[in-house]
Structure 1
Amino acid sequence: METGVPHWWADAKEFLSKDKIMSQIIPKYPNESLVGRGDIFYTFVRSIIGQQISVIAADAIWERLVNKVVEITPQRILQFSQEEIASCGLTRPKASYILGVAERSEEFLNQDWNSLTDVELHNHLVKFRGIGPWTAEMMMIFTFMRKDIFSPGDVGLLNAVRKLVPGLEDRDEITEFAKRWSPYRTAASWYLWRTLDPVPVEY
C-alpha cells in the first residue's frame, strides 16, 4: 500500500498544468499534494462518517470517535457496541456499517489490491454494507491512490467545477467535462477541493 506522495504526482502536475483551468490552480499549491496514509480501514471509517454531512460536522464526530476508541482498527472498534459508537455523533446505521466491516475485516482487507483494475476494486468495495459509490471513490483516492478517479457524487467537486466553469450545472455534464483531466482526475479532484477549502481534504 503506497503511502506519502503518490509516485505519479509529478507527472500529473505536468500534465494538468497544460490545462487552462488547472494551470490557474496548481501554482497556488507548489509544495502540497495528495498524501496517502496507507490504512484502508481508517479511510473507510472516516469516509463513512463523512457521508452526507459537512466537513466541519464530520471532523467533530471523528475527533469524538478517536477520543473514545483511541485506535481506529477493526480489533479496537469491535470492543465497543453500536450504541457506544453512535454516541460519538454517528447515526445508528453508520455505526452498524463500521461494526459490520470490522467483523468482516479479513475479507475486506486481505486482497491483492495491485492486481485489481479500478472497476474491480470499486466492485469489491461496494459489496460491503454502507459502502456506496462515493465512499468507494474516496477510498480509491485517499488509500489506494488510484490516479484517475473523479467522484460525480461529491458535492464539493461539482460545486468547484460550477464555480470555475460558468454554465456547467448538470452532474452528467460535469462528469463528461472532467474527462479532459484523464488520466489524472484524482489530482484534478484534489486541486478542485483546494479551491473550496484552505485545508487539504483528508479521508
Structure 2
Amino acid sequence: MQKGKPQWWDEAVDHLSGDPLLGSTVELYSEEYLSGRGEIFQTLVRSIVGQQISVKAADTIHGRLERLCEEINVESIASCTLEDLASCGLSLKKSQYIRGIATSEVPLLPEGFEEMDDDSIAKHLVQFKGVGPWTAEMMLIFSLMRPDVLSLGDLGVERGIQGLVPGAVTKKEMFEVAESWRPYRSAACWFLWRSLDPVPVEY
C-alpha cells in the first residue's frame, strides 16, 4: 500500500494527455495527482462515511471522527461504542458497519493480495457488511493504488463521462468511452472527479 503519488502516475498522465476527450482536462490539472493514504482501513472508513452524502458533509463527519479517535485505525474504532460513532454524525448503520469491520476476525486484506487481480480483491472486500462495489473500488484506487479501476458506480465518474460524451447514457456506453483510457482508468476517474470538484477527491 502506497502513500502519496502513485509510482505509475507520470506514465498515466502521458497516456491520457493525448486522449481526444480527456486530454484537455489532464493538461489543466497536470501538476496535481491522486494521493494515496497508504492505510487501507482509513480509506475504508472515509469511503463508508462518504456513501450517499455530499463531499462537504463527509468531510465534516470525518473530521469529527478524527477528533474523537485522534487517529483512525482498527484499534481506535473498535474501542468506540456505536453511540460514540453516531455522535459524529454517522447513521446507525454506518456506525455498525465501521465498528463491525474493526472488530472482525477476518483480515481486511487476504494473504497474498499483492498477487491478486482487482476483481478478486473486490470480491473479498464486499463480503464485509457496508462494503459494496463502489467502496471496494475506492479502496483499490486510493489505498492499493491499482492503476486501472473504472468506477462506473460513482456519480462523479458518470457525470464526467457524460460531460465529455453526452450520448453515453448506459453503463455499456460509458464503459466503451473509457476503453481508450486503459491501462490507467483509475487516473482517468481522478481527472473526471477533479474536473467537477474544486478540490482533489481523497478517500
Structure 2 length-normalised TM = 0.95
Taking only aligned residues, the RMSD between alpha carbons, in angstroms, comes to 1.3
Alignment check: 8 A CA contact 1:49 1:94 kept: yes
Q: What is the deviation of 1:86?
A: 1.2
1:30-87 Cα offsets, whole Å, 9 max, x none, are 2211111111100000000001111111111111111111110111111111111011
* Cα offset, 1:100, TM superposition: 0.7
Question: How far, CA to CA, are the matches of 2:46 and 2:63 in structure 1?
Answer: 10
Change (3 A) 1:77 1:104: same
Instruction: Report deviation, 1:176.
Output: 2.6
- The match for 1:18 is 18
Deviation at 1:2, TM superposition (A): 2.0
Within 5 Å, which residues of 2 pair with 1:39-58?
39-58=39-58
- Contact 1:74/1:105 (CA < 8 Å) preserved in 2? no
Deviates more, 1:162-171 or 1:189-198: 162-171
In structure 1, the partner of 2:150 is 150
- AA matched with 1:17: S
Q: Does structure 2 retain, via aligned residues, the 8 Å contact 1:26–1:191?
A: yes
Using the TM superposition, give the Cα deviation of residue 171 of structure 1 relative to its aligned residue in structure 2, in angstroms.
Answer: 3.0
Task: Classify 1:40/1:66 alpha carbon distance in 2 versus 1 (closer, same or farther; 3 Å).
Answer: same
Is the 1:48–1:94 contact (alpha carbons within 8 Å) kept by the matching residues of 2?
Answer: yes
Instruction: Could you list the structure 1 runs, at least 4 aligned residues long, displaced by more than 3 angstroms after superposition.
Output: none
The 10-residue stretch of structure 1 (183-192 or 63-72) with the greater mean CA deviation from structure 2: 63-72
Cα distance in 2 for residues equivalent to 1:2 and 1:111: 17
Count of aligned pairs: 203
TM-score by length of 1: 0.95
Counterpart check, 1:98 vs 2:98? yes
What is the CA deviation profile of residues 117-154 of structure 1, one whole-angstrom value per residue up to 9, with x for unaligned ones? Answer: 11111111111111000000000000000000011110
Alpha-carbon distance in 1 for matches of 2:86, 2:169: 36
* 1:152-185, Cα deviation, whole Å (9 max, x unpaired): 1100110111112222222332123212211110
What are structure 1's unaligned runs of at least 5 residues?
none
Task: Please give the alpha-carbon distance, in whole angstroms, between the structure 1 residues aligned to 2:108 and 2:138.
Answer: 16
Deviation at 1:109, TM superposition (A): 4.3
Distance 1:157 1:81, change over 3 A: same
Q: How far off is 1:110 after superposition?
A: 5.8
Identity over aligned residues, as a percent?
48
